[in-house]
Structure 1
Amino acid sequence: MRKPELLAPAGNWDALVAAVQNGADAVYLGGKSFNARHSADNFDDDELARAIEYAHVRGVKVHVTMNILLADTELKDALRFLRIVYNAGADALIVQDLGLIWLARLLFPDLDLHASTQMTVHNVPGATFLRDAGIKRIVLARELSLDEVCEIRKRAGVEVETFVHGALCVCYSGQCLMSSMIGGRSGNRGRCAQPCRLEYRLVDDKGKQMADSTKVGDYLLSPRDLNMSLHIPELIKAGIDAFKIEGRMRRPEYVATVTRIYRTLIDRAAQGGDYFVTDAETDQLAQVFNREFTTGYFYGVPGHDLMSYKRPNNRGIRLGRVRSYDRNTNQAEIELEAPLRVGDGIEVWVTRGGRVGTEVNEILVNGQNTSSADVGALVMVNLEGHIYPGDRVFKTHDAQLMENAVQTYSSSREIRQVPLDFKVRARVGEPMILEAADQDWVSARAATRQFGQNALNRPLTKEFLAEQLNRLGNTPFVLNKLECDLGENVMIPVSEINDVRRQVVEQITELRALLRKPKKACDSDLEIRMSVLLDDKEIDRTGQFPALAVAVGGAPETLAAVKNGAELVYFSGDQFKSKSKINAAEIQQARQYCSDAGVKFYLTTPRIAHDREIKQYLPLFQSLLEISPDGVMASSAGWLIALREWTDLPFITDFSLNVFNHVSALSLKQRGVSRVTLSTELTGEQIKYLAGRSLVDTEVIVHGVLPLMVSRYCVVGSVLGGKGENSICSGQCRNVSYALLDRKGIVFPVETDQRCLMHIYNSRELCLLDTLPSLVQAGPAVLRIEARRENEAYVALVVKTYRQVLDSLHNLPANPPDLQTIMEELVAGGPGFTRGHYYRGVMD
């Protein structure tokens, strides 16, 4: 059975060593900038080069992460860092930004590019789009089933990588704005604050709590951890090229333990025969970190079985229950369901008042001190708190497991060993020749300074040479084979043998470090080519004035938009179950409203569509072509491939494609896109810079309650509808509106679409009305109002207000209206407004 690559995380040097020594085939790590784990220690430029050399000597690949969106002002520095990565010999670059992909392919065509999971690839056309852009491997969205993964691998002609262990995001990666909009810490920029791990209450549109948090739990958006250890053979048979362990923010002990176990399991599966996971392996994976485990979406949509509603952090493993508690001595009696040692950390889930944790400093069994106790023992340990009989006890830290893990990366004796084949030739009157070669055909040769002499007592033997040559000490090498060509009665001093052994090992080490290094990229040449590629002269758009567009969710809203001055209507591809269902006749009616008023009408695709859903959508799309829409808004890259064979209509891209710089916009233009919607995380200055230099028309969202998350997990269906791994949803979302209430009393509306995906919306309404004078000057072709979930009254009011302001700015630019007053009147009575990132940007 073919072995997939085992890819382990390295957030710092110790984690790198832990991954390598415990059997990783490759590691992924980031520099100090431009990576999606900004809070990890990461590697400076010198450490990065040293890390790559360390890994390559031991036969391990290094994938460097540059998996964030890049601003225009960062592109040159990003490419200079990329030159460092390339010259250091990195095996692959993990990327998110479309512009960086385009530039990297031109400047470093020999460097393999891997598409980050942040690129939200979840269907065959999306994978095909990136393959054609020069991507060799795609880290697929975590929301795919195993069958879908297999289909993409077979049909897209690109390598695929999937996560097999570690933390899960509740949102499709690359589509989450929650951390960004709430606190300015963007996941797309490597600074996610994980608001999904906080407490929420599910409420209806009147604020009534819909689920008992004491029974369900407080953490409605916190998934369990992925654990595919029981299913390794199935994943291998699916053709997955790389198994990825999540965890660049994890401790080296975690990396060591999880990598070691998955190395063992992959090797075990590849041997064939009956596959198994031992109880010890299962327990150690749970002990090192878990929020409970799940197989994610590999075998279907798990609903509530995906989630860790009761706890957002490590549970450890169950140790037992408190049988009795003496409040005078603070001694708790526990019958052990797992071994316990002095130095372990335990936590009691107390009946009243949360949790109590402590490090075990003393264990009593039958009144006697002991350093450890096994399963079944009745022990007394010291615990302080509101503890009662029956409370559950968990072991959250296993001192022995951690100590064993530390040894794998702190010991000078290496676990990872590279076998060497030695050849020795020795003759009296000649220097001894030592040759060495590894399994990658790297070889070295050295000769002793002294000639062979007649042995007085002990001539050289193969056994003696094997003993001496295998003294490879603190190197990663080990003797594999030894061939000897020895003259009669020849002797060489031991010091000479040791010296040539050292010489060939040093040569092999240096050659292995250079094995994957490319021809060094010239600094001056790169600067010249960058200046050409990043020629970002401002484009003269004198006389251009932006059109006003509106994204709507129904025919009545279309009519309201048309009557009040919209010049372009986007008809929503996502239909929400809280609204009445849209049919082809309603879409045709909306088209007619636009045609009668001379307003352009664009069809909008669903934001998330797996291959099965694309297949279901195509007949509808073909029928809608009969109403002659003016264009199509693609909400993901896959639609640019899936729909292009059916129409030559103009394509524009939605904000979900995360266009953050003018090179990304250019790369989409070269794929046939006529206009790009800019990222909602850009500042006003960044919009001005990008729009003023883009060779393709740009669009900016100026108003609306924006979606913060799109998730295949539905909180309504899981908490209220009973959706689980083995149960279907009862459909509680139909014609009802829900929301999530956070611990500060802030309300985030929730919608469920026609494919049962959950969309979480911002608590505040984006309103950039008072920035319109600056936005108009910035040069975007279109300004958009997002109103897909709003009613016709909302659409009428907002469109009319923006139309009046834009007309005033167009006709009387020297005498703008009182925008502050107009804006206050517009948002009065609403949920509150925000200018998003227009002024504050995202945290760098």
Structure 2
Amino acid sequence: MILNRKSVELLAPAGTWDALVAGVESGADACYLGGKHFNMRMHEGDFNFDDEMLKKAIAYTHEHDVKLYITLNNLISDEEVPALREYLAYLNEIKPDALLVQDFAVLELVHEMGIDIPIHTSVMMNTHNEHAIEKLKEYGITRIVVGREMTLSELSLFRERTGIEVEYFMHGDMCMSESGQCIHSGVIFGQSGNRGRCLKPCRWAYSLIDEQTGEVLDKDSDGAYKLALKDMCMYRSIPQLIQAGVFSFKIEGRMRPAPFIRRIVSTYRKAIDAYIADPMGYKVDEEGWKSLYENRARDFTTTFAFGSPTKQDIGMTGEREPRFFSDAVKEAGFQDEILKKERDINKENDAHRTLSVRVNTIDSAKAAVDNGADVIYVGGEAFRPFRPWTLSEYADIIAYAKGKAKVVINTPRTTMRRECGELEQFLTAIASRPELAADGIMVSNLGSLKLAKQYTKLPIQADVSFNLFNHLAAKFLKENSLVMACSSLELSFEQLREIVESSELPIETIVHGSYESMICDHNIPGMSLPHYSELDNPEVLDRRYALLDNAKEKHSIRIDQFGRNHIYFAKDLCLYPYLKKFNGIASYRIEAQDYTPEFTGKVTKLYREALDALASGQEIDQSKLAELQQGPRELGLGTFRFRQSRNSI
């Protein structure tokens, strides 16, 4: 690759006019900013650009031969769709150089309205494999912002395989969770991180405990801020970024003041130009480094760029945390006054209401089948000490359930290169062996969807990780041959009702069970415990850990077969008392992956009886709620206690 001034793009953030000017004057090739609606920085009223300022910003940047990208990168609820249409029409008039998007609804409207602005995927779309990129290219996507968990070597490989332009966060604030897969703020506060209102529970203090005994395991650790990732800084690694094939060097910081933007952009501009002018003779400008380091907010890290992070990448002490957006709070129980007053969903029910159960073992699968489940979800992640399902176990449960329940095979939520390779071989086996002929496949991202369509002819449905938030996203999934999709766990009842009543695609909803607040590619116990060693003591992976916050809420950690850490809410979701309101749901789903076979059977039986009672015009036996409260956690309503997931208008 022969480098020149146009080989890479330095992309600067702007939250105010002064910051935009600072970025342009300091040498940015492009700037990105948000309007007053529909973006991932909705907390501060003085930031972001109104419609007239957007038009002025485009004119200003183009006068200086600088590109301007507008962020339209949060999830959109149905009540926001009319305003979104108007906004897109306006953007099509003023013609920014690209839009950054997360929600599939935007892709639908761009096609429907004939919008001819280039589209880039936001990091929030969690694009992390080449198969997802190939699917997105079908929709005219010209650039992707890759997931933060991707190493430069992985990035380089799929850049070569797909040929797509890659944008990479190389300086600034970083999320601990996989992008788009953190719902902690949305469920606890009704302010979703996927909708630009994150209150950053990852910046709380936590103790690492033994889940069974409550013993505090990290008394001698470096500090309590175990999820507080340091700020990304790739200044000392510019050659590696360029040679990996990164085109756009993205600086995070749309809430930063103009002097901060000026300093960061000018420092990176000088270093990038120096490398391009003389790669072999390049050396790090230590004065530039000193300027960045002495004016830092948090300390610095390179996160996953060169491999898995360690405790050195976490701001354990909290000393350099510039702002805490919230404090730990008790998760809500049945604070249900809002839900009680909501109008029931107005959609006709099937004569027999479908009950689906996601299970962890073959014994739990059999318990669900025996107690009335219509569908069981098997496979996908296996949380240690449980092991992944084998081909023979799939065959056994398919044979056992025949004539009694459908078996849908689940796939991992995150499918990087390793998981994609395993998934291809697995899907080939399913397609070629009669004893593995399941009733369907459940996928969690566009890459898995593409592989499932390529290798099998089974019906495909979308898991909760697709963040389904509106009927247009459901339409997108239906057009891609999916037969059903699970609604987002951040939707309020009112917002769910809008989707169910208007969607042509059948909608599944989780009504009970344990569920994740975050999914992390970090080894949280390994970063907190001084003598944690998978090589010396592999049994440490099978111990059940939890995080205890300052409100004394216990968040279970589950480690899957790929080493990812799934952090759970302290309360399990329970919609049993309110099932009568949930009409027209295509599938009522129980998340039993963290339950014993015995409790899986009990919960399945209680929900089966309740749904059958509703189908026959009878009332639910509310006294049975006491039996549901015998599980591993207390019960709560999750986001259904809110009138709405706070919107972006």
Match of 2:606 in 1: 801
Does 1:604 find its partner at 2:410? Answer: yes
Q: Distance in 1 between matches of 2:321 and 2:579?
A: 48
Q: Secondary structure at the match of 2:76?
A: coil
Match of 2:481 among 652, 672, 679: 672
Match of 2:234 in 1: 228
| Deviations, residues 759-814 of structure 1 (Å, cap 9, x unaligned) | 00110010011221111x2x121110011222102211110110010011111x1x
Say which is worse superposed, 36-45 or 557-566, in terms of deviation: 36-45
Match of 1:562 in 2: 369
| Residues 692 and 55 of structure 1, relative CA distance in 2, 3 Å threshold | same
Query: What is the correspondence of 1:578-593 to structure 2 with a 5 Å cutoff?
Result: 578-593=385-400
| CA contact 2:27–2:266 (8 Å) conserved in 1 | yes
Match of 1:550 in 2: 357
| Deviations, residues 594-644 of structure 1 (Å, cap 9, x unaligned) | 11x421001100011101221123323333442111110001111011222
Indicate the RMSD between aligned Cα atoms, in angstroms.
2.0
| Residues 261 and 753 of structure 1, relative CA distance in 2, 3 Å threshold | same
| CA contact 1:607–1:656 (8 Å) conserved in 2 | yes
Question: Which letter does structure 1 place at the counterpart of 2:313?
Answer: L
Kindly state the Cα deviation for residue 825 of structure 1 after the two structures are TM-superposed.
Answer: 3.5
Match of 2:209 among 195, 203, 209: 203
| Residues 735 and 22 of structure 1, relative CA distance in 2, 3 Å threshold | same
| CA contact 2:184–2:518 (8 Å) conserved in 1 | yes
Kindly state the Cα deviation for residue 181 of structure 1 after the two structures are TM-superposed.
Answer: 1.8
Q: Distance in 1 between matches of 2:242 and 2:33?
A: 24
| CA contact 2:353–2:615 (8 Å) conserved in 1 | no
| Residues 279 and 729 of structure 1, relative CA distance in 2, 3 Å threshold | farther
Kindly state the Cα deviation for residue 220 of structure 1 after the two structures are TM-superposed.
Answer: 0.5
Kindly state the Cα deviation for residue 728 of structure 1 after the two structures are TM-superposed.
Answer: 6.7
Does 1:19 find its partner at 2:26? Answer: no
Kindly state the Cα deviation for residue 251 of structure 1 after the two structures are TM-superposed.
Answer: 2.2
Stretches of structure 2 that go unaligned for 5 or more consecutive residues are: 323-344
Q: Distance in 1 between matches of 2:531 and 2:64?
A: 50
| Residues 311 and 817 of structure 1, relative CA distance in 2, 3 Å threshold | closer
Q: Distance in 1 between matches of 2:437 and 2:388?
A: 22
Say which is worse superposed, 284-293 or 555-564, in terms of deviation: 284-293
Match of 2:545 among 738, 752, 766: 738
Q: Distance in 1 between matches of 2:633 and 2:149?
A: 32
Match of 1:713 in 2: 522
| Residues 664 and 818 of structure 1, relative CA distance in 2, 3 Å threshold | same
Match of 1:7 among 3, 7, 11: 11
| Deviations, residues 798-841 of structure 1 (Å, cap 9, x unaligned) | 10110010011111x1x31343x322441246522111122413
Match of 2:312 among 305, 312, 321: 305
Match of 1:747 in 2: 554
Match of 1:79 in 2: 85
Kindly state the Cα deviation for residue 234 of structure 1 after the two structures are TM-superposed.
Answer: 2.0
Aligned length: 613
Q: Distance in 2 between matches of 1:160 and 1:312?
A: 34
| Residues 228 and 266 of structure 1, relative CA distance in 2, 3 Å threshold | same
| CA contact 2:372–2:605 (8 Å) conserved in 1 | yes
| Residues 104 and 737 of structure 1, relative CA distance in 2, 3 Å threshold | same
Match of 1:358 in 2: none
Question: Which letter does structure 1 place at the counterpart of 2:363?
Answer: P
Question: Which letter does structure 1 place at the counterpart of 2:490?
Answer: E
Question: Which letter does structure 2 place at the counterpart of 1:842?
Answer: S
| Residues 825 and 733 of structure 1, relative CA distance in 2, 3 Å threshold | same
Q: Secondary structure at the match of 1:136?
A: strand
Match of 2:328 in 1: none
Q: Secondary structure at the match of 2:542?
A: coil
| Deviations, residues 682-723 of structure 1 (Å, cap 9, x unaligned) | 122222221122111111111111111111101012223767
Match of 2:187 among 181, 190, 205: 181
Question: Which letter does structure 2 place at the counterpart of 1:292?
Answer: D
Q: TM-score, normalised by structure 2?
A: 0.91
Match of 1:842 among 632, 636, 645: 645
Larger proportion of strand: 1
Q: Distance in 1 between matches of 2:503 and 2:393?
A: 36
> Could you say which structure has the greater relative contact order, defined with CA pairs below 8 angstroms and 6 or more residues apart?
2
| Residues 699 and 744 of structure 1, relative CA distance in 2, 3 Å threshold | same
Query: What is the correspondence of 1:162-561 to structure 2 with a 5 Å cutoff?
Result: 162-205=168-211, 206-213=213-220, 215-272=221-278, 273-311=280-318, 313=320, 541=348, 543=350, 545-561=352-368
| CA contact 1:716–1:732 (8 Å) conserved in 2 | no
| CA contact 2:174–2:231 (8 Å) conserved in 1 | yes
| CA contact 1:22–1:263 (8 Å) conserved in 2 | yes
Q: Secondary structure at the match of 2:42?
A: coil
Q: Distance in 2 between matches of 1:730 and 1:55?
A: 57
Query: What is the correspondence of 1:98-117 to structure 2 with a 5 Å cutoff?
Result: 98-117=104-123
Q: Secondary structure at the match of 1:645?
A: helix
Match of 2:443 among 596, 613, 634: 634
| Deviations, residues 219-256 of structure 1 (Å, cap 9, x unaligned) | 10011111111121221122222110011122222211
Match of 2:579 among 772, 777, 783: 772
Q: Distance in 2 between matches of 1:313 and 1:83?
A: 43
Stretches of structure 1 that go unaligned for 5 or more consecutive residues are: 316-537
| Residues 756 and 250 of structure 1, relative CA distance in 2, 3 Å threshold | same
Question: Which letter does structure 2 place at the counterpart of 1:34?
Answer: F
| CA contact 2:555–2:568 (8 Å) conserved in 1 | yes
Query: What is the correspondence of 1:137-156 to structure 2 with a 5 Å cutoff?
Result: 137-156=143-162
Q: Distance in 1 between matches of 2:348 and 2:424?
A: 38
Q: Distance in 2 between matches of 1:708 and 1:612?
A: 24
Match of 1:817 among 583, 596, 620: 620
Q: Distance in 1 between matches of 2:452 and 2:536?
A: 32
Kindly state the Cα deviation for residue 540 of structure 1 after the two structures are TM-superposed.
Answer: 6.7
Match of 1:35 in 2: 39
Q: Distance in 1 between matches of 2:530 and 2:111?
A: 48
Q: Secondary structure at the match of 1:37?
A: coil
Does 1:50 find its partner at 2:56? Answer: yes
Kindly state the Cα deviation for residue 543 of structure 1 after the two structures are TM-superposed.
Answer: 4.3
Match of 2:426 among 620, 624, 628: 620
Q: Secondary structure at the match of 1:613?
A: helix
| Residues 695 and 20 of structure 1, relative CA distance in 2, 3 Å threshold | same
Match of 1:645 in 2: 454
Kindly state the Cα deviation for residue 96 of structure 1 after the two structures are TM-superposed.
Answer: 0.5
| Residues 77 and 148 of structure 1, relative CA distance in 2, 3 Å threshold | same
| CA contact 1:631–1:651 (8 Å) conserved in 2 | yes
Q: Distance in 2 between matches of 1:86 and 1:225?
A: 35
| Deviations, residues 112-169 of structure 1 (Å, cap 9, x unaligned) | 1111000011111111121112211111001101111112222223211111111111
Q: Which has the larger radius of gyration?
A: 1
Question: Which letter does structure 1 place at the counterpart of 2:131?
Answer: P
Query: What is the correspondence of 1:754-793 to structure 2 with a 5 Å cutoff?
Result: 754-775=561-582, 777=583, 779-793=584-598
| Residues 543 and 606 of structure 1, relative CA distance in 2, 3 Å threshold | closer
| CA contact 1:7–1:25 (8 Å) conserved in 2 | yes
| Deviations, residues 407-463 of structure 1 (Å, cap 9, x unaligned) | xxxxxxxxxxxxxxxxxxxxxxxxxxxxxxxxxxxxxxxxxxxxxxxxxxxxxxxxx
Say which is worse superposed, 652-661 or 223-232, in terms of deviation: 223-232
